[in-house]
Structure 1
């Protein structure tokens, strides 16, 4: 297992800090990738931050009400090293790949469009 620290990301517009509004997880909880972890409030909005890792919550670095600077630790997650080992292997470079059959061209007809009047009569 390895420990991954999730830092408060830059939530936009040059904001440098955010307040912890609500934790959606607790120490010991098992989390999945993109599972909501915490709600933070900036000067402009309340934002729900998803987990960038799957694993077990090892530590919450701040309490509700704390103001956290951007790029400071929010949560530490213990990740399972075997989870990445069970992921499907990528296709090797140079490996043969089946090409999809070519699509047949579609015949289309075009009509003159008169701006403000719709399609005009060509006759």
Structure 2
């Protein structure tokens, strides 16, 4: 089993950030490929982001109301597979680079 991080994609030409409006999932929730994970708001529209992975939500990496840069990880999903694994929620993570937000777990 591995943990895959989904990074905020560029959902429009030249957009550099988006706000997390509503999480549709919580840690522990099962997700299938293309299930809606989150609603984000850009300068142009509110957009639903589908899951690029099937698995179980490991942790949310951004809070509702938070503005996130394109390319920043927003969610971690445990998947069945042999790919490289990110640290599990209960494992210590590597040092966070300056300016990066720590992981946020929703209750």
Q: TM-score range by the shorter chain?
A: 0.7 to 0.9
Q: Which residue in the other structure is 2:10 paired with?
A: 10
Pairing of 1:98-117 with structure 2 (within 5 A): none
Q: Which runs of 4+ in 1 moved over 3 A?
A: none
User: How far does residue 80 in structure 1 lie from its aligned partner after superposition?
Assistant: 1.1
Find the aligned partners of 2:4 and 2:47 in 1 and give their Cα distance. 21
Between the aligned partners of 1:18 and 1:78, the Cα distance in structure 2 is: 24
Aligned position for 2:52: 52
Partner of 1:20: 20
Q: CA deviation at 1:26?
A: 0.2
TM-score scaled by length of structure 2: 0.75
Partners of 1:62 and 1:21 lie apart in 2 by 10
Q: Which has the larger Rg?
A: 1
Per the alignment, residue 91 of structure 2 pairs with: none
Gaps of 5+ in 1: 83-123
Q: Indicate the structure whose relative CO is greater, using CA pairs within 8 Å and at least 6 residues apart.
A: 2
Deviation, 1:79, is: 0.1
1:76 corresponds to: 76
Residue 34 of structure 2 corresponds to 34
**Residue 67 of structure 2: aligned partner:** 67
The equivalent residue for 1:107 is: none
